[in-house]
Structures are given as C-alpha cells and as structure tokens.
Amino acid sequence: MNLIKTPEEVNIMAEGGKILAAVLKEVEKMAVAGMTTLQLDRAAEALILRYGAKPAFKGYQGFPYSLCTSVNEVIVHGFPSNYVLKNGDIVGLDLGVLWKGYNTDMAVTVAIGEIPFETKRLMDVTKKALKLGIKKARAGVTTGDIGNTIQRYVEDQGFGIIRDLQGHGIGKGVHEEPGVPNYGQRHKGTKLEEGMVICIEPMLTMGGITIKKAKDGYGFTTRDGSLSAHFEHTIAIFKDGARILTQ
C-alpha cells in the first residue's frame, strides 16, 4: 500500500472532500428534533449520488448504511435507525465519500435543540482538539506529537480521551496506515512524510474512557453511558503544514 500520494492524487481527494463537506453540511441542517437517524442516512446517500460520487462506508466491512449516526453515549459507527432525535440529544454524523477511486472521511457532532452548558463545552473542546491536531501536523512530526498535543489540551479541560479508537491514513482504502491516536508521547509513533493523507478524529467523553460494543454490533459506546463527541477531517501532509481536504 502506497502511503505517499502524488499531488494529482491529493487534488482528486480534495475534489471528493469538497463534495463530502457540502453533503455533510446539508445533512447537519436536517438533524433536528423529529427526524430519524435513518432519514438522515437516506438523505446523505441521495446527496452523494447526486454529485456523481459513491458512499464510502456502504458495504465496508459489512456496514449496510452510508452514514454513521452516533447518538449521545454512542462514540462512533452507530447504525441509522428509526430512533427519533429529540431536544437535548447530540448526534455524531460520520460520512465518507468515494470519488475517482479515492476516499475521504469527515465527522461532526450536532446538538439537537437546547443542550446543557457542559454538553456544549464537550463539543467545543472536541472541535478545538481537532483544530490543534491539524495545526500540529506537518512533514517531520510524529503521530505521537499530534496525539500528545490533543491529549494535553483535552485533559487540561477535564474531559476523557477514547484510547481504543483512533484516526488513520486514507486513500484508495477507507482505513490505511498509519494509525493516528488522540494521545501519546512526543517523538513517538510514525513520522509523517510529505504526501501522506490522514484522518485526525478526536473522540472525547464526559466520563470514563472505556468502551463497549453497541447492540447493533458495529457501533461503540462509552461503558459508563456518558456522553461522547467526535469531529474529524481528512488532511494532506506538507512540509509547511497540513491542507484540509474536507472543506
């Protein structure tokens, strides 16, 4: 597996990422009280197909939907269902697009109606953790450098970091090397090289950091039932920093 993408490949992934960002923005607007997560999945798939792209997740390792919908204590990979979103919920929307043979991956967490202050703070800290991880990423730094940057910020804010799930490389495969943990030691892990494309995706919790499989067999939930938030971008690595492809 070639982890280094050519400039042409990066540009193709940026095209796909632009489609992905546009679709996810529309689905995010639809995530309101009264909608089911299955309706969000169907809308996401229809929009992707309208752009001439394909859903990256549908059929991947047997996953039967296009959109992962992770409500409240579900961390990632939640199944869309007939669950009706209600005021006070938060829902993680994780979506992938396949465009001209290359994948991109992106996630946001959305508040449904009014949410408590601490829940909003969880979301804000998760989003900023992603921003800090992207800012750290460039050729020559390690995955441990990125993880350490995220970890120090998050733990200083009083939230927990899921350790059993992590970011990843991406390209022709949805998941490629290297793994990109959201914690770690400086100068440890994989050294990033120009042309690598990775997904950084902090997953934070208001409680404990241990996880368990969801009832659907695909998703993961916090073991203690505490709320979790998740944000993700696909980025390309360059000498002077990172280019966000999913925007």
Q: Which two tokens stand for residue 92?
A: 């993680």
Tell me if residue 110 falls in helix, strand or coil. strand
Please state, in angstroms and rounded to a whole number, the distance separating the CA atoms of residues 13 and 11. 5
Write the pLDDT tens digit of every residue in 144-192: 999 999 999 999 999 999 999 999 999 999 999 999 999 999 999 999 9
Please state, in angstroms and rounded to a whole number, the distance separating the CA atoms of residues 170 and 62. 19
Please state, in angstroms and rounded to a whole number, the distance separating the CA atoms of residues 77 and 50. 24
Query: pLDDT category, 124, cuts 50, 70, 90?
Result: very high
- Given this model, what pLDDT does residue 88 score? 98
Average pLDDT, the chain: 97
Please check if 230 is assigned to a binding site.
no
- Given this model, what pLDDT does residue 235 score? 98
- Given this model, what pLDDT does residue 1 score? 64
Please state, in angstroms and rounded to a whole number, the distance separating the CA atoms of residues 94 and 82. 18
- Given this model, what pLDDT does residue 128 score? 98
**Global confidence as pTM:** 0.97
Please check if 77 is assigned to a binding site.
yes
Check if the beta carbon of residue 134 is closer than 8 Å to that of residue 65: no
- Given this model, what pLDDT does residue 115 score? 98
Please check if 168 is assigned to a binding site.
yes
CATH label, 7-244, candidates 3.30.70.360, 3.90.230.10, 3.40.640.10, 3.30.365.10: 3.90.230.10
Residue range 68-74: mean pLDDT, rounded: 98
Domain residue extents for the chain:
7-244
Write the pLDDT tens digit of every residue in 184-230: 999 999 999 999 999 999 999 999 999 999 988 889 999 999 999 99
Please state, in angstroms and rounded to a whole number, the distance separating the CA atoms of residues 55 and 41. 10
Please check if 194 is assigned to a binding site.
no
